[in-house]
Structure 1
């Protein structure tokens, strides 16, 4: 532990130096730093705006000429903001009051630091961490089995239980291997340590309810229902809890109610696998209602947002192309520029059939399912960049319905970008 106290002493001396240094440099250095900070901010703003322009150009939203003009304006603005700021050098003496303040701070900093460490610090925990680092690799450099990795994680959490991320990893691992009771206990530890205002809290509550459900042999109980209700009281759109209510309603042959819960969950399901499961459940419930001769409610978005495209070269087109040249296949809103789904191929891959769906979204906010119709294009980029350039080869289909496509669309690359 001698190294610990030596480090504390050095850091304390460094802290005192940081307190006294501004007083010794006085106002002149402060003004100089203020001007330099202003320059840095101007440069950061310039870089951010230039990055935005380059992004717009890379996705085809901005022509090269417009890009060059806007970049020139940015550079002129930067020259006006940086370099013309006056550097006023003023000297100031350090008053007796300032010296007194500095001396008092020099005495108070170490006193306060040691007091806080005594109350909040933990030398034993630090020592334990150092001892762990000194231990040899328990797996001797080999990849551990799942059981070994779980055992190691259990040991780490036993030694350092205040680790919600570690408990969450352990809980999801338990669920994946069918250890549902252990998953319940691990999720409970996550909820104990995770702040209730954390954005993940409601999601973990839903997963806790799911763990309780599976631990109860996949049956609804009062405990499970109570946890589901508590979760939905916090977040009425929590997907896992809505899914459990749908399962319970389906098992009780309340098919219309099950469709209602699953349809609501489908609106918030970001994961493609979860959305697929919800759609399958809704279709099954609709079939049961139809067999009973009862009204079948329609569910918006039940059909997956998916477009199948067969891409090929036109006759006599692209004979001089290299096999490794890049082919971009993408869908974007009709009249828009930002792709909602994109796939990258090579000329050697053609002809090829691709599927455009939400899993290929450029951003979570701009997905294929967010629009009704799109423009589907394929372009061979001679430069290898996403932005269209003169001489590139392309083909386009427009408009194309996002949902309800029964077959494969044929997209022929047979045009040249002028």
Structure 2
């Protein structure tokens, strides 16, 4: 694989404390670094991929097989970073969806469980260690995520400490040239006071079966947040277990999208499902061979659905066609949790009403944060129509306008 076809890495330092940080605090800390990395990748003119790794001690628990995390804290952090990415890309006219072509940047946010005081035995090289969540530690990240086109690191005391620790682990897996190591400006670290001193946030030990629904047309940062937030709820069996957890993604069928604006540019169900699984592979797949040596993504088609397995079959992903407002939530009793957005909140209530009517247990419903540039910008004119710029409808509109220009 040519180096310019490889993903690049941006190592962000640990987020400001306490968590969850406000969007203003995250913007001050991360916007300069993200802007520099995204600008650099756009300037190459290539279709780029960027993994944004955020090392942070997010996991709790004494035993590896029973780790927990604060879902609200984790998804809030991911939402804040995707908001900054989407805002910067909007300002710099960088396409953000998967397979968007030259000059685009397809960014993925990955949480890495890491404490700055942790010491690694680098002489034996990094190894893959899994726990009961999808979040991995820094050594596992270095072992499974490689090789890179560029590695962007933040020029601050905390950023350099993280960079040096990571390099000791990563150099075992990849010989890095000086030109690949790119320092970027760090932001301001403002530790905001705690609003509530009631102790640790509620922890989640995860669920065996998690469900999510959407159209996922031209997979963009909003979709990536939803998928990541839902995956963070999975309780992953140990790698030696014969069991697996299940992530069900209901994807709207083609027939239900014929009345959408610019419907002729809506991607087919197959393409949308493949893009969902391809994205999830970045946060779920672990292979010591990294990008180059790991086997090609295997997608199994069964009864019209798409399925894939990750981490020794301990995580299974199933994309199903949705032909109504409920999808699998009212046909599968074994689902435990449902992830919704603010737009689909009422749908979550309707699902539980129907399940109750059927004599089934209601689902635990989790609502993700929204991507909202107004929360981090004091100058709204800079992000005018921000929400519409990252929507699937806006992407289809741009494709329609581009076709008209070509035909002139």
**Normalising by the residue count of structure 2, what TM-score does the alignment of the two structures yield?**
0.21
Larger radius of gyration: 1
**Normalising by the residue count of structure 1, what TM-score does the alignment of the two structures yield?**
0.21
> Which one scores higher on RCO, CA 8 angstroms, separation ≥ 6?
2
Structure number with higher helix proportion: 1
